[in-house]
Amino acid sequence: MIQTTKMASGQQWVLVEMVQAFYEAPAYHLILEGILILWIIRLLFSKTYKLQERSDLTEKEKEELIEEWQPEPLVPAVSNDHPSLNYDVVTGPPSHKITVNGKECINFASFNFLGLLDNERVKQKALASLKKYGVGTCGPRGFYGTFDVHLELEERLAKFMKTEEAIIYSYGFATIASAIPAYSKRGDIVFVDEAACFSIQKGLQASRSFIKYFKHNDMEDLERLLKEQELEDQKNPRKARVTRRFIVVEGLYMNTSDICPLPELVKLKYKYKVRIFLEESMSFGVLGEHGRGVTEHFGVSIDDIDLISANMENAVASIGGFCCGRSFVIDHQRLSGQGYCFSASLPPMLASAAIEALNIMEEDPEIFTILREKCKHAHKALQDIPGLKVVGEAFAPALHLQLEHSTGSRESDVRTLRSIIDYCLDRQIALTQARYLDKEERFLPPPSIRVVVTVEQTEEEIEKATSCIREAALARLE
Amino acid sequence: MLRYLLGVTRLDKIRNEQMRGTVKVEQFGDKAREARLRWFGHNHNVWHNASVYNKPFVESFEETPLLVAVLTYMGYGILTLFGYLRDFLRDWNFEKCHVAKERDEQKDFVPLYQDFENFYTRNLYMRIRDNWNRPICSVPGARMDVMERVTHDYNWTFKHTGTVLFDVINMGSYNYLGFAENSGLCANAAVEAAMKYGLGVCGTRHEIGNLDKHEELEKLVARFLGVESSMVFGMGFATNSMNIPTLAGKGCLILSDELNHASLVLGARLSGSTIRVFKHNNMQSLEKLLRDAIVHGQPRTHRPWKKILILVEGIYSMEGSIVRLPEVIALKKKYKAYLYLDEAHSIGALGPGGRGVVDYFGLDPCDVDIMMGTFTKSFGAAGGYIGGNKELIDYLRTHSHSAIYATSMSPPVAQQIITSMKCIMGEDGTTLGQERLCQLSKNTTYFRRRLQEMGFIIYGNNDSPVVPLMLYMPAKIGAFGREMLKRNIGTVVVGFPATPIIESRARFCVSAAHTKEMLDTALNAISEVGDLLQLKYSRHAWPSDEETNHFSYLDSHQD
C-alpha cells in the first residue's frame, strides 16, 4: 500500500518535471524536436520508392508498342515435299485386299488382326442398327446419348473380360488419355514405361502428376524408382498418405511390339502398394486363349489390375475404346472421364459392330490360335533380311522392321524405308511406316516399317510379302 | 426485319435500350428502379458498339432475383447438412452404404479418391441421378423412345422394367437440323458406305487409314465453310484437345472465354502456353487482356509473346449466347492476334446458309484463322473439322496429333456428313436443306418468345436454338426433369458443376424437326410444370397477346 502511493507520487513528480522542462526549453529546441517527430512519422508512412520514379508507360508509348509487336506466323510453312504431307489414298475398304493409290495390294498395314473389318455378319448387324438408330447420337451420354446398344456393349465387354464393369468411349485415343487424369491428379506420382504410346503420354500430361519414366520393360529400374519413392515417403509420411501412385504400362507395346512382364509388375504392385493401369489396345483380341489380352496370356488374375483400357479400333475393327475393371474404379469415370462426359457418345452402329465382333470372338476362340500361328510364321520369315532387323515378340501381330545400321540422319532413314515400302507397293504388298511426331514424343522410337499380320493372310501371301521385303532390302540397301 | 420495321412495342423498347447503351445516357429513375428490383430481379442487356452489327443483337441474362438466390443457397445448405448426417450414419453402419468398395487386398493402398471428392456425388447428385443417362432405344429425332427405369434404392442402382415410353418429345438432343434420321437420303447413303467400306478403318490417316471418302469430305467441308482447305477428325472433343497443342506452345498466350468447353480448356492446357481467361463474351475484358499482354510481354522475362490465340465458341451450349464475333474480329485485327472459333453448336444452326456464326453476322470466313466445328450436332453424325488457309491445314496434316496417332473417321459417318452437308448447301437439287434452316430459325424464335411471355427467365441470344430456362434451386432440377418426363417430354437439366452453383437450369435444344404442334405441347407442359414448381421468376414484362404470338411464328424470319 505504502509502496504504491510512493510510486504514484514519484511518477507524478516526473510528469510535473517534464511539463516544467517543456516550458523552460528554448523555442528553437522545441521546433527542432517537432520537425524530428514529423520526419519520423513521414518515414514510417511513406513508401520505400517514389511514385514518380515508376516508369509507367504513357498511352502513346503503349500504342507504339502495340504497333511494333509482330507475332510469329500461326504455323510454320510446310514444304510441299514433306514426307507426310501427301497421304496414301485408299479407295474402298482397307481390308485384306486394299487399293492404295489405285493399286490393289495385299494389306500388311491395317490393324485388322482378326479380319473383322468387312466381315459380313458384323456389317449386317451394324446396318440393322443404322436403320434403327440413324448414324449420330446427337448428344453426350448424359443427355439422351445413352442407347440400349451402349449399355449392351458395356455389359458384354465386362463379361468378355470377366470384370465387374466396363465403360465405352467414342474414340480410341481418348480412352486412356481421359482415364489417367480421372484418377491421377496434381501431386500424385505415375511410373511409366519409356516406350509408352502417345495417348498415354497425353493422359499423363493432362493429369499434371509427377511422372517418373523407367527403362523399357526393366523391372529393376522400376523397383529402383519405387524404392527411391519409399525413402521419400518415409521423410514425409503425411504427404505420402495422400499421394496416389500408379504404374502405367502397355500390354503389347505399340512402339516396340514386345510384351510387358505382368507377373513381376503385379508383385511390385503389392510390395510397394502401387496401382496398375494397363493399356491393351494391341493385345486385346490378340493374346490369351480367349483373346482377353495379357492377363490371360500370363494367367494373372484380372482383379489384380486396377484398370484395363483398350481401343476397339484394331482387333474389333470398329471405332472407340473401353476401360474395364472393378466398379469401384470404373464408375468414377462416368463423372470424371473428360472424353466420356463431354463428348458425343459412340454412334450406335459402331457399338453394334463391336458387339457382333465380340460374338464372333466368343464363338470361335480358335481364331486367336490361328492369328498366333500366322504371327510366328511371319516373325520367322522376316528374320535375317540383310540390313533390316525385326523388333517385337513372335506372337505380336504388328511387328517393326528397323534399319540394322542407321545412315546417321533420321530423315534419310525415313526415306530409305519409304523406298522399300514403295518397292513393295509396286509388287502388291501394302506396308506402312510407323509414324511419330518427332518433336512431341518423349522417347522417339527409331524409324521403322510396320508389318501387320492378320488371320486373313494365307501362308503364301506371308511368304510373298517377306520375300518381297527381302528383295526390296537387297535392292535399296546396298 | 419486317418485325422491326413495323415496330412492335417490345422491340422498340429494346432498341431504345440499345441506343442508350451506345450513347451512354443514364435513364431517369434507374437508381430507384434498381433498388426496387434488387429483390425481384431485373433484366440486363449489355450493349457495346452496336455499329459493327448489321442486325439487332439481343442477348439477355436476367439477373437472379436476390430472394431466389438466398433460397437457393439455403437449399444447398440443407442438402449439405443432410449429406453430412447421412455420411455419419453410413460411417456408423446405421444406414446401408451402397458405394462400391475398395478390394480388401488393397485397403492399405493410398485411397483412390479423397473423401470429400465424392461428397457432392454421393449426397446431392445421387438424389436426382435419374434425370441423366436416360437410355433411349430409337433415333434421337424430334420424338424418341425412352426406356423406363426404376430404382429401389434411391438411385444407387437402376433396373430396366422392359417397358418403353414411346414418342417422348425430344428437347434434349443437339439435333438442330433434324438430320438424326434412320431413313431418307442420308441414312441410305450411310448404309451404302457401310456396305462398301465396312465400319472401321483400322489405321490412322498417316498409316493407310486415309480413305477417298475422307478426302471427298474434306473438300466439301472447305467449300461449305468458304475456306481454302479443311481437315476432319474422328471425334469433336479430340479435334480441340489434340489440335490446339499443334498451334500454340511455350511462349504463346491463349486468351480463352471463361465459359469455353472442356475440350478447349484441355487443349489449351496440353499446349503448354500461358492461359488467361476473359469474362464471358465481354469485349472490354478481352481488349484489356490483349493490350496488357502486348505491352508487358511474357511474365518475368518480359519477352514479347510469340503469338496470341483467342479461343471462342460460336454458341455457348450452357448459356445460349452467341459470340460477339464482329467485335472479336475487330480486336483480333487491331492487336494481330489469331482467332480460333469453335462452332460445335453453331455450325448448321445459325446463319441464312447454315454456315455458322460467320454466316450469321455476314462476315468473311477468312477473317477467322481457325474455323473449328463438330459434325455431332447439326449433321447427325460424329467427329469434328478444322478449316482455314492452306498453310494451316498442310501444317495440321503433317503435325496434328490426331492425324498421326488416332484412327480415322468411320466411312459411313463420313458419308452421313457428306450427304447432310450437300443437302444444306442445296447441292442435292432440292430445297429441303433451306427449308430445314428456315424451320429451325422459326422454331427458335417462337419457342424462345413463348417461354419469355410465360414469365420464365431465359438466357441467351434471341436467335440461339439453345434455350436455357433458369431453375436455380437444386430440388427443382430433379423435379423439373421428372415432371417433364411424366408429361412425355425429354429435357436436359443441368446444375453445378456444369453451371455456377446457384444457376441451375433446364436446357432445350430446338430442332428443325419439331413441328409447331410438338413445340406447343412442350410449351404447355413447361408452363404447367412452371406453375407447379413456381419457376416463372421473370419480372420483365413481355407483351403476350394472341396476335403477336401468331405473328412471331409466321413472319419473324422473313428477313
Helices (H), A115-254: 120-133, 148-161, 172-183, 198-207, 219-235, 237-240
- Nearest C-alpha of chain B: how many angstroms from A148? 6
The reported pLDDT for the residue numbered A463 is 94
B64 with B41: CB under 8 angstroms?
A: yes
Q: Is the distance from CB of B177 to CB of B416 less than 8 angstroms? A: no
Chain A residues in contact with B189 (beta carbon < 8 A): none
Q: Do the Cβ atoms of B519 and B443 come closer than 8 Å?
A: yes
The H or E element that residue A299 is part of is none
Q: What percent of chain A has pLDDT over 90?
A: 85
Non-local CB neighbours of B286 within 8 Å, separated by 6+ positions: B255, B278, B310, B328, B331
Q: Spell out, as residue ranges, where chain B has pLDDT lower than 70.
A: 1-51, 117, 542-559
- In B, minimum Cα distance to A171 occurs at B235
Chain A residues inside the 8 Å CB shell of B134 = 144, 146
Which residues in chain A are closer than 8 Å to B97, comparing Cβ atoms?
A: none
Report, as an integer, the average pLDDT of A237-241. 91
Q: How far is A276 from chain B (nearest CA, A)?
A: 12
Q: What is the pLDDT of residue A245?
A: 95
pLDDT of residue A128: 96
CA distance B386 to chain A (A): 14
CA B555 – CA B223 distance, rounded (Å): 31
Q: What is the pLDDT of residue A408?
A: 87
The β-bridge partners of A308 are A278, A324
Mean pLDDT, residues A285-302 = 95
The nearest alpha carbon in chain A to B261 belongs to A342
Cross-chain residue pair B134–A316, CB shorter than 8 Å: no
**Whether the Cβ atoms of residue B138 and residue A133 lie closer than 8 Å to each other:** yes
Judged by CB atoms closer than 8 Å, whether chains meet at A91 and B398 is answered as no
Whole-number pLDDT of residue A356: 97
Mutate to test the interface with A, among B99, B109, B167, B199 (most CBs of A within 10 A): B199
Please state the separation of Cα B494 from the chain's center in Å: 12
Say if residues B319 and B352 touch (Cβ distance below 8 Å): no
Q: How far apart are CA B329 and CA B515, in angstroms?
A: 36
Average model confidence (pLDDT) across chain A? 92
Return the sign of the alpha-carbon dihedral for residues B506, B507, B513, B516.
Answer: positive
Residue pair A290/A368 in contact by the 8 Å Cβ criterion = yes
Instruction: Assess contact for B51 and B58: CB atoms under 8 A.
Output: no
Look up residue B267 and give its amino acid: G
pLDDT per residue over A137-182, tens digit each?
999 999 999 999 999 999 999 999 999 999 999 999 999 999 999 9
- Are B380 and B222 in contact, with CB atoms under 8 Å apart? no
Q: For residue B555, with 0-12 CB atoms within 10 Å meaning exposed, 13-18 middle and 19 or more buried, which class applies?
A: middle
Say which of B182, B379, B381 has its CB closest to residue A132. Answer: B182
Cα atoms in the Cβ-side hemisphere of radius 13 Å centred on A352: 24
Tell me the β-bridge partners of A192: A213, A248
Residue B4 has a pLDDT of 38
Q: What is the mean pLDDT of residues A354-372?
A: 96
* Residue-wise pLDDT tens digits, B197-213: 999 999 999 999 999 99
The whole-number pLDDT of residue A398 equals 94
Per-residue pLDDT averaged across A313-330, rounded?
Answer: 95
How confident is the model over A71-96, as a mean pLDDT? Answer: 90
Q: Select the residue from A62, A85, A138 to test the B interface by mutation, using most B Cβ atoms within 10 A.
A: A138
Q: What percent of chain B has pLDDT over 90?
A: 76
* pLDDT > 70? residue A341: yes
What distances in angstroms separate CA B23 from CA B19, B49, B59, B212, one per listed residue?
A: 6, 10, 19, 56
- Helices B236-247/B262-271 angle, 10° precision: 30
| Phi, psi of B484, deg, nearest 5 | -70, -40
Q: Hey, what's the torsion of the CAs at B309, B315, B321, B324, to 10 degrees?
A: 40
What integer pLDDT is reported at residue A300 of this predicted model? 96
* Minimum CA–CA partner of A313 in chain B: B202
Residue A227: the pLDDT is: 96
The reported pLDDT for the residue numbered B551 is 42
> Considering only CA atoms, which of B223, B247, B331, B232 is closest in space to residue B281?
B331
